[in-house]
């Protein structure tokens, strides 16, 4: 409750400072809209401009990309434990590919996959698989040797060691990798949507931001940013904190 109170006080303070700066007229209203205008644009976005549908479309794309990326990261990282040769190769691949921004792959993705959902999903998968794989492999390598030997003495094979020893013992690393991958995937998705535009199935929140920027509706841009922030808060405190509480804190692996 104390942490929640501090966070609420901080948010209120930021809003007050924002409104004071607006009232002082330090910046042109076009660049620095009032809180009232931002919230009006937020209501207008959901009621007239289709912001709700665009947000749901973006969430559907990132959910597909996250699912594919997480599954691939687990499979490839698990193989790196089974085979030292595969680990040396995959570790190099992760180190190289993790440096490439997802947006930089967009021209190639369009050439390979055309204009459609698959292109954006590919960018999302690229954004999550490499940081998550790095975290998983680091977690696997940090598992105490005594745990591994105990698993072997229990008769566990390579697959059993991965699922029964490595994953539970390194779950803090795995959760951290998912957190990092989610954040990077979300940024990659918004950037791709702003550049890519619409698909045959619809438009996302990144396209909403692009259109508002084109129409010089800065209040609308801030309204979309508020939606992105709200989604981030829900995922962080509603999903990740719940998982952490039910696993790491319950197991005594986190305070």
pTM as predicted: 0.81
**Which pLDDT score, from 0 to 100, does residue 242 have?**
82
Residue range(s) defining the domain that contains residue 71 = 38-251
In a domain, 17, yes or no: no
Q: Are 126 and 187 in contact (CB under 8 A)?
A: no
Q: Are 169 and 143 in contact (CB under 8 A)?
A: yes
Per-residue pLDDT of the chain (255 residues; tens, 9 = 90+): 677 788 888 888 988 888 888 888 777 877 888 888 888 888 988 888 888 888 898 888 888 988 999 999 989 988 888 888 888 899 999 988 888 887 788 888 888 877 777 888 888 898 889 989 999 888 888 888 888 888 888 877 777 877 788 888 888 888 888 888 888 888 888 888 887 666 666 778 888 888 888 888 888 889 899 999 888 888 888 888 888 787 766 666 655
Q: Are 95 and 37 in contact (CB under 8 A)?
A: no
**Rounded CA separation 68/125 (Å):** 7
**Rounded CA separation 88/181 (Å):** 22
In a domain, 53, yes or no: yes
**Which pLDDT score, from 0 to 100, does residue 185 have?**
85
Residue 68 belongs to domain with CATH number: 1.10.3720.10
In a domain, 188, yes or no: yes
| First and final C-alpha spacing in the chain | 16
> With the C-alpha atoms ordered 81, 85, 89, 92, is the resulting torsion angle positive or negative?
positive
**Rounded CA separation 44/104 (Å):** 33
Number of structural domains, the chain? 1
**Which pLDDT score, from 0 to 100, does residue 155 have?**
78
**Tokens 């990309």, located at residue:** 65
In a domain, 26, yes or no: no
**Which pLDDT score, from 0 to 100, does residue 68 have?**
92
In a domain, 73, yes or no: yes
In a domain, 21, yes or no: no
**Which pLDDT score, from 0 to 100, does residue 255 have?**
59
**Which pLDDT score, from 0 to 100, does residue 142 have?**
84
Q: What angle do CA 206, 35, 39 make, to 5 degrees?
A: 55
In a domain, 14, yes or no: no
**Which pLDDT score, from 0 to 100, does residue 22 have?**
84
Strand, coil or helix: what is 157? Answer: coil
**Rounded CA separation 243/236 (Å):** 10
In a domain, 19, yes or no: no
**Rounded CA separation 255/244 (Å):** 10
């Amino acid at each position: 409750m104390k942490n929640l109170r501090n966070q609420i006080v901080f948010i209120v303070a930021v809003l007050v400072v924002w409104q004071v700066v607006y009232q002082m007229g330090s910046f042109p209203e076009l660049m620095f809209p009032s809180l009232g205008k931002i919230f009006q644009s937020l209501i207008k976005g959901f009621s007239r401009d289709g912001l709700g549908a665009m947000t749901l479309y973006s969430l559907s794309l990132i959910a597909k990309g996250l699912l594919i990326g997480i599954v691939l990261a687990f499979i490839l990282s698990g193989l790196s434990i089974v085979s030292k040769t595969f680990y040396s190769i995959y570790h190099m691949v992760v180190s190289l590919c993790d440096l490439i921004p997802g947006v930089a792959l967009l021209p190639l993705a369009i050439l390979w996959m055309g204009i459609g959902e698959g292109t954006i999903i590919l960018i999302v998968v690229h954004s999550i698989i490499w940081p998550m794989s790095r975290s998983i492999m680091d977690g696997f390598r940090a598992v105490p040797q005594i745990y591994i030997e105990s698993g072997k003495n229990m008769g566990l094979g390579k697959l059993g060691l991965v699922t029964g020893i490595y994953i539970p013992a390194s779950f803090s690393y795995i959760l951290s990798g998912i957190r990092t991958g989610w954040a990077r995937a979300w940024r990659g998705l918004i950037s791709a949507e702003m550049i890519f535009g619409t698909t045959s199935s619809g438009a996302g929140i990144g396209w909403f931001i692009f259109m508002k920027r084109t129409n010089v509706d800065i209040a609308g841009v801030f309204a979309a940013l508020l939606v992105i922030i709200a989604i981030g808060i829900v995922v962080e405190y509603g999903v990740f904190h719940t998982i952490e509480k039910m696993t790491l804190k319950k197991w005594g692996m986190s305070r």
